[in-house]
């Protein structure tokens, strides 16, 4: 019979096989929740971005902010560790257009994962979006 520690290790291995960048995602989402808790749900997008950037610096997490994607005119809110795109919103509700926007960014940058977050909601719900090419692999 497996011990609790062995079962926990097996569960972590299963999660890491299915989830792209689990530890990095966990850190990022934690910071997003901190921003929401600290600033509430009526701050401006730039205020959330400033708070998030400050926390990334504090924990020495490599990031790029307001990164232009070649000559497309598109600008990423954050690119974390050259792996995950974060798209910040402070809107009444997330529309399909925001999903398309992030999917477009994933296609243009060839990144596998994006996180779409809307701070305007009373309960924060970051949304992980996979690059479509990665869905079946």
Give the chain's domains with CATH numbers.
Answer: 20-132 (3.90.320.10)
What digits encode the pLDDT tens for the residues 50-95?
999 999 999 999 999 999 998 888 999 999 999 999 999 999 999 9
Find the Cα–Cα–Cα–Cα dihedral 81, 84, 90, 92, rounded to 10°. Answer: -170
Q: Looking at residue 6, what is its pLDDT?
A: 60
Q: How many CB atoms lie within 10 A of CB 1?
A: 4
Q: Looking at residue 137, what is its pLDDT?
A: 45
Q: Looking at residue 135, what is its pLDDT?
A: 45
């Amino acid at each position: 019979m497996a011990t609790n520690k062995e079962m926990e290790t097996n569960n972590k291995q299963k999660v890491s096989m299915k989830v792209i960048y689990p530890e990095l995602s966990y850190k990022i989402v934690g910071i997003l929740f901190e921003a929401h808790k600290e600033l509430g749900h009526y701050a401006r997008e730039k205020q959330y971005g400033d708070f998030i950037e400050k926390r990334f610096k504090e924990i020495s997490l490599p990031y790029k902010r307001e990164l232009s994607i070649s000559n497309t005119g598109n600008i990423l809110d954050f690119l974390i560790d050259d792996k995950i795109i974060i798209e910040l919103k402070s809107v009444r509700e997330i529309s399909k257009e925001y999903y398309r926007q992030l999917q477009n960014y994933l296609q243009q940058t060839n990144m596998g994962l994006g996180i779409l977050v809307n701070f305007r909601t009373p309960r924060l719900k970051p949304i992980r979006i996979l690059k479509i090419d990665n869905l079946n692999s």
